[in-house]
Amino acid sequence: MNMQEFYTGHAFDAYEFFGAHTYFGGTHFAVWAPSAQHIAVETEVGTYDMHRTQSAVWECDVPGAGAGMVYQYWVRGANGQSVAHCDPYGTAMTLRPDGRSIIADRPTGFSDDAWMNSRSKCFDKPLNIYEVHAGSWRQKEDGSWYTYAELAELLPAYCKENGFTHIELMPLAEHPFDGSWGYQITGFYAPTSRYGTPQQLAEFVNACHKAGIGVILDFVPVHFAIDSYGLKEFDGTPLYEYPAAAVGQSEWGSCNFMHSRGEIRCFIQSCADYWLRVFHADGLRMDAVSRLIYWQ
């Protein structure tokens, strides 16, 4: 990623630099927090101080940290308070009410080249979208959720039987409150662990494509959940949100992203790129677009 493009709002691959990235023998962590006084990353192999490598960026290497391990950032903000936060660019998270991130390698094993090379926008053929909330489409007798793996067996077959060409999944990014149906998010890059791992979600998409069914993901570019471990006042200041509550708080009680800031645009557009590129999603359905158009 080009850092100048990040600061000016032109980067679409910020996740390639920020977040947790494994290498042989350890993991590299990088986080954007311009007003933080100090940041430490707490991992299963110890807590390590992070260092400013640029005026707004903190980084460190943690030997022995690897995929599957839990971590969180302790951020001493501009206000002097130390608060535990999940990783804004974290690609996996623990199940609520635990708000920590999980080190995760990129999903692998796609075998959907035929689909990816032939898919289209359906301008010249039928398009019939089935909107689904993964957790309540069907539930087991004990009320538990079907996993990504189980949905891979059930959903594509159901869609083919009923004449649907695409599945649209309500937001799968990690969120703390079941009742929000995923529309108030804390982990924008992290597929919810309610139904399995990022690798298992990739296998679900792969199964849909192998069955000739496209996958569209709901995407939430307008606002985020207010839970303290999330994005709100990440470095002790309103960093991702507007500084004034009058414009910073949405009608849903969440925080509005401050889209006028280049780094925030990069966070959101890189997130869109991540779901499309890494998970082979065929499209994104943008939530609350009227808020983007008419806000203020």
- Please state the domain extents for the chain: 113-222+270-294
Q: Over 80: is that where the pLDDT of 246 sits?
A: no
The values of phi and psi at residue 199, to 5°, are -60, -40
Read off the pLDDT band of 115 (50, 70, 90). Answer: very high
Return the pLDDT at 251. 83
Mean pLDDT of 241-265: 89
Own/partner long-range contacts of 287-296 (Cβ < 8 Å, ≥24 apart):
287/171, 287/183, 287/218, 287/219, 287/220, 287/221, 287/222, 288/220, 288/222, 288/223, 291/222, 291/223, 291/250, 291/256, 292/221, 292/222, 292/259, 295/247, 295/256, 296/247
Fold of 113-222+270-294: TIM Barrel (3.20.20)
Does 245 score more than 80 pLDDT? no
Residue 122 falls in which region: left (phi positive, over 0), alpha (psi -120 to 50) or beta:
left
Q: Write phi, then psi, for 59 (nearest 5 degrees).
A: -140, 160
Tell me the β-bridge partners of 283. Answer: 216
Give the model's confidence band at 1: pLDDT under 50 very low, under 70 low, under 90 confident, else very high.
Answer: confident
- Residue 143 confidence class, pLDDT cut points 50, 70, 90: confident
Burial of 187: CB neighbours in 10 Å, binned 0-12, 13-18, 19+: buried
For residue 82, the SS3 value is: strand
User: Average model confidence (pLDDT) for the chain?
Assistant: 95
Q: What is the pLDDT of residue 216?
A: 98
